[in-house]
């Protein structure tokens, strides 16, 4: 921590300048510190938006050429690219708790079944969730739900992450939820969705409730 050895505006300077440095007085003399800044935190709604945005940006490259071509009509209407039409259309669906679709428009006729075998490890500072696929999934992605003390109800605000399902098998997909684990019972569930925008049913709860 730097100390003042000469006058800076005043020998007894106190307060902050430009929210960057702060001057104070102690028994040993003047002290200058970098002004502190509170860490930015995201609201639950922002985290949901970020989770879906990550999903959409990472899955576009794996979508088939015929499905990508279906976005051309919407893209022309909005004077944008097929990719950005895909993003905006699915983000609007997500705000209404509708699953994303790989092709335009969403049909939503084929609900996916539960796929893979999943497990979790609850540590002190994080929770590791692993989904093992023994065959190539037919679903588009999976949402991870979490609730404290009671099992999730499948509500959108309970979603902590949205993951793409792999296009090869066997394969393991691991997600680490960086969250200090406070006392209490932590329950998790998975819900898959199809590439035509249809939600499946909620899977089993882990760990099993007593």
For the chain, give the percent of residues with pLDDT over 90. Answer: 66
On whether residue 122 sits in a domain, the answer given is yes
Q: Are 16 and 62 part of one and the same domain?
A: no
Q: Are 62 and 30 part of one and the same domain?
A: no
On whether residue 101 sits in a domain, the answer given is no
Q: What total of structural domains would you count in the chain?
A: 3
CA distance 141 to 52: 11
pLDDT (tens digit, 0 to 9) for every residue of the chain, 210 residues total? 455 555 555 555 565 665 556 656 666 666 666 655 554 566 778 989 999 999 999 999 999 999 999 999 999 999 999 999 999 999 999 999 999 999 999 999 888 989 999 999 988 889 999 999 999 999 999 999 999 999 999 999 999 999 999 999 999 999 999 877 776 788 999 999 999 999 999 999 998 877
CA distance 201 to 152: 13
On whether residue 108 sits in a domain, the answer given is no
- Which CATH number does the domain housing residue 131 bear? 2.60.40
CA distance 102 to 196: 6
Q: What is the pLDDT of residues 171-193, one digit of tens each?
A: 999 999 987 777 678 899 999 99
Q: Are 143 and 161 part of one and the same domain?
A: yes
Q: Are 195 and 140 part of one and the same domain?
A: yes
On whether residue 107 sits in a domain, the answer given is no
Q: Are 122 and 198 part of one and the same domain?
A: yes
Q: What is the pLDDT of residues 126-164, one digit of tens each?
A: 999 999 999 999 999 999 999 999 999 999 999 999 999
Spatial CA neighbour of 139 closest among 196, 70, 93: 196
3-state SS class at 57: helix
Query: DSSP for 162-198?
Result: EEEPPSSSSEEEEEEEE----SS-EEEEEEEE-TBS-
Q: Are 148 and 174 part of one and the same domain?
A: yes
Spell out a b/e string for 36-67, using b for 16 or more CB atoms within 10 Å of the CB, else e. eeeeeeeeeeeebeebbeebbeebeeebeeeb
On whether residue 90 sits in a domain, the answer given is yes
Q: Are 180 and 161 part of one and the same domain?
A: yes
Domain that holds residue 79: 44-95
Q: Are 127 and 70 part of one and the same domain?
A: no
On whether residue 111 sits in a domain, the answer given is no
């Amino acid at each position: 921590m730097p100390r003042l050895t000469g006058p800076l505006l005043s020998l007894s300077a106190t307060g902050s300048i430009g929210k960057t440095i702060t001057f104070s007085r102690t028994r040993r003399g003047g002290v200058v510190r970098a002004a502190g800044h509170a860490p930015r935190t995201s609201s639950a709604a922002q985290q949901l938006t970020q989770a879906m945005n990550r999903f959409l940006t990472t899955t576009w490259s794996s979508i088939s050429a015929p499905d990508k071509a279906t976005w051309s009509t919407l893209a022309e209407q909005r004077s944008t690219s097929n990719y950005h039409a895909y993003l905006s259309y699915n983000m609007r669906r997500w705000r209404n708790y509708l699953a994303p679709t790989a092709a335009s428009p969403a049909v939503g006729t084929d609900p996916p079944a539960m796929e893979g075998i999943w497990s979790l490890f609850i540590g002190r500072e994080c929770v590791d969730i692993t989904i093992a696929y023994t065959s190539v999934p037919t679903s588009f992605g999976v949402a991870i739900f979490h609730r404290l003390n009671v099992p999730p109800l499948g509500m959108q605000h309970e979603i902590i992450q949205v993951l793409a399902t792999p296009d090869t098998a066997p394969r393991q997909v691991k997600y680490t939820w960086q969250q200090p684990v406070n006392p209490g019972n932590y329950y998790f569930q998975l819900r898959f969705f199809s590439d035509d925008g249809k939600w499946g049913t909620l899977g089993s709860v882990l760990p099993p409730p007593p």
